[in-house]
Amino acid sequence: MHILEKHSEVEPYMDQIKGVIQSPGIITEEAEGGKLHLAKFGVVGGKYHNCYLETVIRYQGGPGSKSGTVLTVHFNTHAPKGELKWLTRS
């Protein structure tokens, strides 16, 4: 996975990454480029317990499509950038 070259810290969390993609807590969209940021807060323990696990995805056919490319995955202490598209109550 190309992401691990830059963000090796996410390697132990593949199941959580899939979970964020399938059921994100927050979705934002960048103004340019059609990228969606899917994130969930506090999904892992340890030193990342106070962070969002954030994935950046470009969907083929635009948002709502079921086919896309994961561009990056990383931990972030701030909510994802972009226009808010979805936020769960929990």
Using one digit for the tens of pLDDT, what is the confidence trace for 2-16?
777 888 999 999 999
Q: Count of residues for the chain?
A: 90
In the chain, pLDDT over 70 holds for what percent of residues?
93
Could you identify the residue written with the tokens 């969907």?
Answer: 59
Answer whether 35's CB lies under 8 Å from 56's CB. Answer: yes
pTM: 0.88
% residues pLDDT > 90 (the chain): 73
Question: Cα 68 vs. chain centroid, distance in angstroms?
Answer: 13
Domain residue ranges of the chain, discontinuous segments joined by +: 3-83
